[in-house]
Amino acid sequence: MNPIDRQKQAAGTAAALEIRDGMTVGLGTGSTAAHFVAALAQRAQAEGLDLRCVSTSKATAEQAEGLGLTVVPLDDVDSIDITVDGADEIGPGLSLIKGGGAALLREKLVWESSRRCIVIADAAKVVATLGAFPLPVEVVAFGHAATARRIRDAVLRLGLAVEPRLRTRDGFPVQTDSGQLIYDLACGALPDPSALAGALKSITGVIDHGLFLGLADEALVGGINGVARLVREGLSSPGRA
Ligand code: 5RP
């Protein structure tokens, strides 16, 4: 395991310790979240924890079920106690860019149903300003190139000149679990993430974007000296009522 992966594993393992018997747990997507799922499954088995999990992607659901965790649909739960998920960037106030794994829509749906959200990452993900990582935007497949042009124009009105890039793999457009497409916006430093989030959401054809603002309550960040806990400013203690 390389050093970055070890940091991800340390963060995932620390997050698994936050889970209590009887909880409904949101499972994130990506390599860091996969470490959390593995650590959670290990704890659940060793301690006989009775857990229900809601997954943010088909890939994570497969992993979790393969490890013996019970995965239920989001529609079957009233609320989720804790969601643990990775991020592509962690900026000021625990603002995030997510969606590198193309799961941003299901991730946001699960996060918004959660009483407490913990983001887990290696130290390189913590940045002073969001935007070095291209912002993923999920768009409806129908008319996606026209939607991309409207995204370009809307973003330009905010002073950011960027050509949205359709995400492909092996020469084919990447399809999300919901059958839609992803455009990546290499904007560079984002001076006003909230304004950008609002502008993107107002475009017909945009389903959602990877800016997660005001959603993460805490971050567990693996580094060379262990795992650091960051709590969102203004929260006296972790969690939402
Ligand atoms: C998936 C995500 C991931 O959480 C994000 O891409 C981080 O991935 P990793 O833990 O593999 O670095 O948002 O849509």
DSSP 12-59: HHHHHTT--TT-EEEE--SHHHHHHHHHHHHHHHHHT---EEEESSHH
Confidence at residue 234, expressed as pLDDT on a 0 to 100 scale = 65
Dist CA 211 CA 98 (whole Å): 6
Active site residue 218: no
Q: Is the CB–ligand 1 distance for residue 98 below 6 Å?
A: yes
Of ligand 1's listed atoms, the one at least distance from the Cα of 30 is 11
For 216, how many CA atoms within 13 A lie in the half-sphere containing its CB? 32
What residues form DSSP beta bridges with 122? 222
User: What is the bridge-based pairing of β-strands 24-27 and 80-85?
Assistant: parallel
Rounded distance between C-alpha atoms, residue 26 and residue 55, angstroms: 6
Please name the residues in contact with 160: beta carbons below 8 A apart, sequence gap of 6 or more: 185, 187, 188, 190, 196
Measured in angstroms, how far is the CA atom of residue 176 from the centroid of ligand 1? 14
Q: State residue 235's pLDDT score.
A: 62
Distance 87 CA to ligand 1 centre (A): 5
Residue ID of nearest Cα to ligand 1 atom 1? 101
Rounded Cα gap, residues 165 and 136, in angstroms: 9
Look at residue 164 and give its three-state secondary structure. coil
Looking at residue 92, the DSSP 8-state letter turns out to be G
Is residue 222 within 6 Å of ligand 1 at its C-beta? no
Distances (CA, A) of 34 to 5, 12, 28, 114: 11, 8, 8, 19
Is the CB of 114 inside a 6 Å radius of any atom of ligand 1? no
Cβ of 26 closer than 6 Å to ligand 1, yes or no, is no
Angstrom distance (rounded) from CA 14 to CA 7: 11
Looking at ligand 1, which residue's alpha carbon is closest to its atom 8? Answer: 30
- Dihedrals phi, psi of 109, to nearest 5 degrees: -60, -40
pLDDT value at position 236?
A: 53
Segments of the chain with pLDDT less than 50 = 238-241
Q: Give the model's pLDDT for residue 239.
A: 46
Residue whose CA is at the smallest distance from ligand 1 atom 7: 87
Among candidate residues 107, 112, 138, 218, the one labeled active-site is: 107
